Amino acid sequence: MTEFIRKRTANAKNDILSGITVALALVPEAVAFAFVAGVDPLVGLYAAFMIGLITAIFGGRPGMISGATGALAVVMVSLVAEGNAFGTEGENLGLYYLFATVILMGFIQMLAGILKLGKFVRLIPHPVMMGFVNGLAIVIFLAQLKMFKDVNGDWFSGSQMWTMLALVVLTMGIMFGLPKITKKLPEALVAILVVSAIAIFGNFDVATVGSFIRDGGGEGLKGGLPQFQTEIFSKVPFNWQTIRFIGPYALILAAIGLIESLMTLNLVDELTDTRGNTNRECMAQGGANIITGLFGGMGGCAMIGQSLINIKGGGRGRLSGIVAALALLAFILFASGLIEQVPIAALVGVMFMVVIGTFAWSSFRILNKIPVTDVIVLIAVSSLTVIFDLAVAVIAGVIISALVFSWENAKRIRARKRMREDGTKIYEIWGPLFFGSIIAFNEKFDVKNDPQQVEVDFVESRISDHSAIEAIFNLVNKYEAEGKTIKLKHLSEDCKILLYKSSPKFREVIVEDIDDPRYHLAENPEAFTKGLSEYKL
């Protein structure tokens, strides 16, 4: 019992320290993404607090951090701009349309959880996962480069640039070297505190969190508790025009949010050698976005950068995410003056180390060891993540992988031909029969020149879809049109039932053998697995 309590206490300490570190890193990220979306910084900070807290408590992956993200902010820019056009002169309704969209987005995500769609993340191939990680690492890196520019978008110069670079390198050096001395202290938090102390007491002229907010048009980090946005219901009419406007945005945001969250969940699973619950995460993300929209937040999803900071800082339990959210709220309510003094360089250094840890450097080593198609998928997903957004990149990667898989399997259909002593020609079909292999399957038969008796044996083939059944149906009709007799052997029970329903004549064509394998159509995976086990027995 003593050992159990000691371990729990040690984990709690790691969770708390890691959560505080994450909270510090969340501030500039949430503020920056709020500026990208064209809304007040507090809208981003409230979103980071509410989404982070709700998903930490109810989510399917302990230790994963959620908040306002850039992938969603990019889509929100045009939403807010178009929403402003619905108001009268001088009235900007874009923010309220954003809240309404986030609420609808949350309902869509909860529906995905109810329908248990989270399990489909397993269909994402490993090259797509690696491309996703690499693409996000590049996006995070490029986002940090903006911190080296002034309000006008010009790069820092002279001593300002050198001071910024020195503090960034110092932060990275502390994070790299501290674990070699001791692993009891969270390197990111120590680095932020040390660099902040040097900048403050050294009176360095560097950009801080406070100056960053004010340069972006914000009034500061100080704020109160989130307020219920009753004006949503009065300023956003509930009619078909509104649904037509916010519906597509809500679908896109829901898809991006779920894809990024579930892929980050998979990544954290691999890092911690544990398993999260994808459907529970969908429900939590959806519920969090509904609450966030009602209380004036911009919506969000899982954050890969902050999640990695948390995991590498020792945060493994739900406590780390709860501490990060509550600490962020405490910064807003009570410690805004202190947090505003933290130099941006310290947070940039932390994010640069996250980039180094996030990027799958092994992808360079395996490029010449994996199939060319997987290389293309990996590079395409990485590039599309940077150029467009995560949803486009992942969907494109899955489509490319699926097409390649179908093409490769379509080439594996084979037919071994032999003659019996009685003059019957036997076709023994090998390989999967599905929509992609139908043409190759049809080319195996010589209907006009075959003898009067033909037998097609499917013992080494698998009937995978309706296209395959239709191909068999057409093949039988062709032989009968030539006045020849065809028999089908070793068809699955499901295939037989469908063929019997399509035409009674198949009862005369299909041979009912005792040794028929008990396999089923791939459209029913559970039945297929059961049939396969029976076949093995």
What does the pLDDT look like over 322-371, one tens digit per residue?
Answer: 999 999 999 888 888 888 888 989 888 888 887 888 788 888 888 888 88
Instruction: Give the mean model confidence (pLDDT) for residues 5-17.
Output: 71
Task: Specify the pairing of strand 425-433 against strand 453-463.
Answer: parallel
d(CA 448, CA 440): 18
CA–CA separation, 486 vs 274, rounded Å?
54
In which band, very low, low, confident or very high, does the pLDDT at 537 lie, cut at 50, 70 and 90?
very low
Closest CA to 246 of 236, 233, 256, 235: 236
In percent, the amount of the chain with pLDDT more than 90 equals 35
One DSSP character per residue, 56-74 reads: HHH-SSTT--EE--HHHHH
Sorted by sequence, the CB contacts under 8 Å of residue 406 that are 6+ apart come out as 434, 435, 436
For residue range 371-412, list pLDDT tens digits in order.
898 999 999 999 988 887 777 888 899 899 989 888 888 888
pLDDT at residue number 6: 55
Measured CA to CA, the distance from residue 490 to residue 306 in angstroms comes to 55
- What pLDDT shows up at residue 58? 95
Q: Where is average pLDDT lowest: 170-184, 226-240, 509-523?
A: 509-523
Asked if 528 contacts 522 with a C-beta cutoff of 8 angstroms, the reply is yes
Least confident of 381-395, 442-456, 479-493: 381-395
User: What digits encode the pLDDT tens for the residues 179-208?
Assistant: 888 877 778 888 888 999 999 999 898 888
Q: What pLDDT score was predicted for residue 520? A: 47
Residue 203's Cβ-side half-sphere holds a number of Cα atoms within 13 Å equal to 0
- The tens digit of pLDDT for each residue in 258-295 reads 988 998 898 899 888 888 999 999 999 999 999 999 99
- Phi/psi at 455 (nearest 5 deg)? -130, 130
How much of the chain is helix, strand and coil, in % rounded to 5?
65, 5, 25
pLDDT tens digits for range 103-160: 999 999 999 999 998 888 777 888 988 888 888 788 878 878 888 888 788 898 888 8
Half-sphere exposure (Cβ direction) of 120: Cα atoms closer than 13 Å:
12
Instruction: List the single range of 16-25, 72-81, 327-336 with lowest mean pLDDT.
Output: 72-81
| Six-digit token string for 354 | 């996250």
Q: What percentage of the chain exceeds 70 in pLDDT? A: 91
* Count of other CB atoms within 10 angstroms of residue 90: 5
Whole-angstrom distance, CA of residue 215 vs CA of residue 229:
27
Other C-beta atoms within 10 Å of 500: how many? 13
pLDDT class of 8 with cuts at 50, 70, 90:
low
> Residue range 85-105: average pLDDT?
83
Task: Please give the Cα distance from 33 to 51 (Å, whole number).
Answer: 15
pTM: 0.73
